[in-house]
Structure 1
Amino acid sequence: MAANPTQGPVPPALDYVATLSVLVAEPIDIGPTPEGHRRIIPITGGSVAGPRLAGRVLAGGADFQTLHTPELTGLDARYAVETDDGAIISVDNAALRAGNRAALERLARGEAVDPAEVYFRCAPRLRTSSPGWDWVNRTVFVGSGERYPDRVVVHVFAVA
C-alpha cells in the first residue's frame, strides 16, 4: 500500500478466510521449566468453515504452550486441516494470549471465560503441496482466538 503524504501509510486490508473450531483434550502439564511453565494441549479434531476454506481439523496435532507470567501465555499450535476437496494443509499457529490473572487462571483450569476478557491474537502459517491450494503458501494470515473448555475457535484473515 502506498503512503498518503498527509495521513501516513495505509494499513493492508484483511479478508475473512474461515473459522476453525479446534477440539482439544485435557492438557498435559509439564510444569515450571527455565523457559516458563510448559503445557501441551492435544488436538483431537474439529471443523473449518468459511468463504475461502472449509473442511475438518485432523486429530494428532497439539498446542505447545508457555505460560510466561500469570497474565501472558505464548502458544505454538501445530496441526493439519483436510479441505472438503481432500487437500491437506499444515497449520503452524503462533499466538499470544493475555489477560488479567483471574481470567487466565480460569482458562488454565478449563473453565469458560468470556472472550472479551482475553487478548488472543495469532499469526497462522498455512502450507500445502496441493496445486489447487497454492495460494495459502503465498499468503500472510492473522487471526483472533477464543478459548472454550473443549475447543479453541480461531477466526482467520488473509492480509490483502
Structure 2
Amino acid sequence: MNAPAPAAPEPPGLTFLAELSVTVGEPIDVGQTPEGHRRVIPITGGTVSGPALNGRVVPGGADYQIARYDTLTELDARYVLETPDGHRIYVHNSALRHGNAEDIARLNRGEPVDAASIYFRCWPRLTTAAPEWEWLNARLAVGTGVRHPDHVLIRIFLID
C-alpha cells in the first residue's frame, strides 16, 4: 500500500523593507570580453524609502554588468546607503535581467521599456557596522527591479 504524498512545505514569507530609486550615470562600455560584453554603470545617488529603512544612496557606487548574450544580463551592483542619522549600510546586489533581444538593446541604449516585458530579479546583501542596523547582517533579501533611462527602481523584501 502506498503512503500518501507529504504535503508541500510552506515557502518562507517576505516582508517589504524599502524601495530604492538609484540614479545612474552614462554607461562605461568596456566591450566584448571572454566572459561577455562588459559595461560599468556609475551610481550617482538616489533615495531609500520604506517602512523599515529610509535614507539616501551615496554617490560613488557602480553596477558591473556582463551581457552573457543578447537576452540575458548579469548585474553586480555595489553601493552604500546612508540613513537620516548618518549610519551607513553597504549593499552588494546581484541580479539577472532577461527579456527579448530588442527590449534589452533598447534598455542598453537608455530608452524606456515596458517593465512587464523584462524579468529583473535580485538578491541584495546588506551589511553594516551600525549597532542599530546590525540585524540586517543576519538577514537574506530578494527584490525586483525596473530600469528607467536615468534610474533603477529596486524593491527589497526580507526573507522571513
- Given the two structures, how large is their TM-score scaled by the length of structure 1? 0.96
Alignment-derived partner of residue 63 in structure 1: 63
Alignment-derived partner of residue 82 in structure 2: 82
In the alignment, the residues of structure 1 paired with residue 116 and residue 89 of structure 2 have an alpha-carbon distance, to the nearest angstrom, of 30
Equivalent position SS for 1:111: coil
Deviation at 1:6, TM superposition (A): 4.1
Deviation at 1:94, TM superposition (A): 0.2
Deviation at 1:7, TM superposition (A): 2.5
Equivalent position SS for 1:9: coil
Count of residue pairs the alignment pairs up: 156
Alignment-derived partner of residue 137 in structure 1: 137
In the alignment, the residues of structure 2 paired with residue 159 and residue 84 of structure 1 have an alpha-carbon distance, to the nearest angstrom, of 25
1:103 corresponds to 2:120: no
RMSD, aligned CA: 0.8
CA deviation vs aligned residue, 1:44-63 (integer Å, no higher than 9, x gap): 00000000100000000000
In the alignment, the residues of structure 2 paired with residue 65 and residue 56 of structure 1 have an alpha-carbon distance, to the nearest angstrom, of 23
Equivalent position SS for 2:103: helix
Alignment-derived partner of residue 8 in structure 1: 8
Equivalent position SS for 2:112: coil
Q: Which runs of 5 or more residues in structure 1 are unaligned? A: none
Identity score, percent: 55
AA aligned opposite 1:22: V
Deviation at 1:86, TM superposition (A): 1.2
Alignment-derived partner of residue 128 in structure 1: 128
Equivalent position SS for 1:110: coil
1:117 corresponds to 2:129: no
Structure 1 stretches of 4+ with a deviation exceeding 4 A read none
Equivalent position SS for 1:106: helix
CA deviation vs aligned residue, 1:20-63 (integer Å, no higher than 9, x gap): 00000000000000000000000000000000100000000000
In the alignment, the residues of structure 1 paired with residue 136 and residue 116 of structure 2 have an alpha-carbon distance, to the nearest angstrom, of 29
Matches within 5 A, 1:22-37: 22-37=22-37
Equivalent position SS for 2:104: helix
Q: Which has the larger radius of gyration?
A: 2
In the alignment, the residues of structure 2 paired with residue 25 and residue 71 of structure 1 have an alpha-carbon distance, to the nearest angstrom, of 22
In the alignment, the residues of structure 2 paired with residue 26 and residue 114 of structure 1 have an alpha-carbon distance, to the nearest angstrom, of 21
Q: Which runs of 5 or more residues in structure 2 are unaligned? A: none
Alignment-derived partner of residue 154 in structure 2: 154
Matches within 5 A, 1:40-59: 40-59=40-59
In the alignment, the residues of structure 2 paired with residue 11 and residue 86 of structure 1 have an alpha-carbon distance, to the nearest angstrom, of 36
